[in-house]
Structure 1
Amino acid sequence: MNIDLSSRTAVVTGSTGGIGFAIAAGLARAGADVTIVGRSQTSVDAALAKLGGATDRARIRGVAADAGTAKGCAVLVAAVPEADILVNNLGIYGARDFFDISDAEWEEVLSVNVMSGVRLARHYAKGMRDRGWGRIQFVSSESALNIPVEMVHYGVSKAAVQGVSRGLAKVLAGSGVTVNSILPGPTRTEGAVEMLRALATERGVEADEMEALFLQENRPSNLLGRFADPDEVAAMSVYLASAQASATTGSALRVDGGTVESIA
């Protein structure tokens, strides 16, 4: 399958590292003009340098803005008023006992994980609809379906993301704009590696062994038997951004290593 996005522009939030960076790189390799978004100019500049070395097929730019806030979203849309592809990847997470999660922490995770995508989709979808073509993606998680006991607030926020994605797909039905959510499972991002390293030190085991232990203890239904690579998640995003995915909308597509115990 030859995916050619050379005539398309893309905005990817939370894209200075992890899954977001892999998605930005994948879209750029497919020929799209890509805007990466991060909270600091330093992280954006580092990602631009790294991404520039990954492909020479696309024009790449960066915007330093905290897309988890209304002000940051306004900065982003002012810098990049229109886009053909919007990937709402920005998200925060962290293990926390349910009884210790404060109202402020609930509000923060919902604001960053849900409202960032709502604000940006509300802006960019209008232009996509008017032009008759567009791709909007929300990066959710298998935790939306398997709410993790160690971070209920995160799972709830990702379930809300899927609700927004499905609802917006219905709003844009027949417009030429597709809206989908992607559900990664355990993925070997920088944050996950750091978490596993800390757990390994705490448990007195090697980091590689900790990955297997984490899956056995926290995601026992995982069929892959390992953490996914960010590029494996990005491949789904690039496909959904393509012309070949024109009949896929309102869907939640899993890249979860078989973690979710469901055949539907």
Structure 2
Amino acid sequence: MQIDLVGKRAVVTGSTQGIGYGIAKGLAEAGAAVVVNGRRQEDVDKAVARIKEKISAAEVRGVAADLGSVEGCAALFEAVPSADILVNNLGIFGLRDFFETPDEEWDRFLAINVLSGVRLSRAYVPGMVERGWGRVLFLSSESALNIPADMIHYGVTKTAYLALSRGLAKRLAGTAVTVNAILPGPTLSEGFRDMLREEQEKTGKSIEELGADFVMAQRPSSIIRRAATVEEVANLAVYVASPLSSATTGAALRVDGGVVDSLV
């Protein structure tokens, strides 16, 4: 089985680092022309350079735009008016007690984690339908099913992506455009590594060891008993973005290491 995305254009939101960067890199390795996105031009330029350094033949460009706003989504679509693959990866998270989370924070999380995907899907999907092929991916989380008590607002946005992806898949029934959600568990992204950095300095343990400790303490239902790598999450996304996944749509696909204790 070989994944070939030559001739396909992919837009990956929030892709200057972490899972988004890993997906952008994986799509480029499969031959797709990739558009990297982030808020700051400097970060976008660095991510593009990193991909080109690793994949000399990569066709990759960057667009700096704040997708947490109507204007930012419009700016991205104006710069890149057509895509075969849309990966709605952009998302923020942060610990905050429910009773101390004001409306402004709920609005910010909903705008970035949900409405960015709504707006960009509304912009790009009609073109996919017209051309007769497309892939839309929403990066949800195992937190969509295991709502964290210490960041309920985040969990709610990730559950919203499950509803959005399933509903949009049904709306596109009979077309060759598929829509799916991907649910990572704890993943060794830059943000996760930064969270563990202080503990690493104290204990001298590796990030991988600390990641495993975190998983067993906070997600004891994990079957792999460690944090996933960015590449492991990206591998699933690249497959789902490919022609090989043509019979997979409306699905919530877990790459959570078995954290969610469910038969389906």
- 8 Å CA contact retained: 1:197, 1:207: no
Counterpart of 2:91?
91
State the superposition RMSD in angstroms: 1.2
Give the CA deviation at 1:149: 1.1
Q: Distance in 2 between matches of 1:238 and 1:16?
A: 17
Aligned twin of 1:62: 62
Q: Tell me the secondary structure at the aligned position of residue 158 of structure 2.
A: helix
Q: C-alpha distance in 2, partners of 1:190/1:77?
A: 27
Q: CA offset at residue 200 of structure 1?
A: 5.2
Q: Give the share of equivalent positions with the same residue, in percent.
A: 57
Which residues in structure 2 correspond to 1:148-187 (within 5 Å)? 148-187=148-187
Deviations 1:221-264 (A, max 9, x none): 11111111111100011101111100000001010000001011
Alignment of 1:155-234 (within 5 A): 155-199=155-199, 204-208=202-206, 209-234=209-234
Aligned mates of 1:200, 1:151 — CA distance in 2: 24
Alpha-carbon separation, structure 2, partners of 1:5 and 1:57: 13
Query: Any conservation in 2 of the 1:180–1:253 contact (CA below 8 Å)?
Result: yes
With normalisation by structure 1, the TM-score equals 0.96
- What is the CA deviation profile of residues 105-149 of structure 1, one whole-angstrom value per residue up to 9, with x for unaligned ones? 111111100000000000100000111100000000000000011
Q: Which amino acid aligns with 1:196?
A: L
Inter-partner Cα distance in structure 1 for 2:246 and 2:58: 22
Mapped pair 1:104 → 2:104: yes
Contact 2:44 2:64 in 1 (8 A): yes
Q: CA deviation at 1:151?
A: 0.9
The count of aligned residue pairs is: 262
1:40 CA displacement: 0.5
2:263 alignment partner AA: I
Distance 1:218 1:226 in 2: 11
Say if 1:24 and 1:34, in contact at 8 Å, map to a contact too.
Answer: yes
Give the conservation status (yes or no) of the 8 Å contact 2:166–2:250: yes
Contact 1:88/1:139 (8 A) holds in 2:
yes
CA distance in 2, matches of 1:220, 1:125: 39
Contact 2:51/2:58 (<8 A) preserved: no
Compare 213-222 and 139-148 and name the one that shifted more. 213-222
- 1:21-76 C-alpha deviation (Å, 9 max, x unpaired): 00000000000000000101000010011010121333110000011211110110
The runs of 4+ residues in structure 1 deviating greater than 4 Å are none
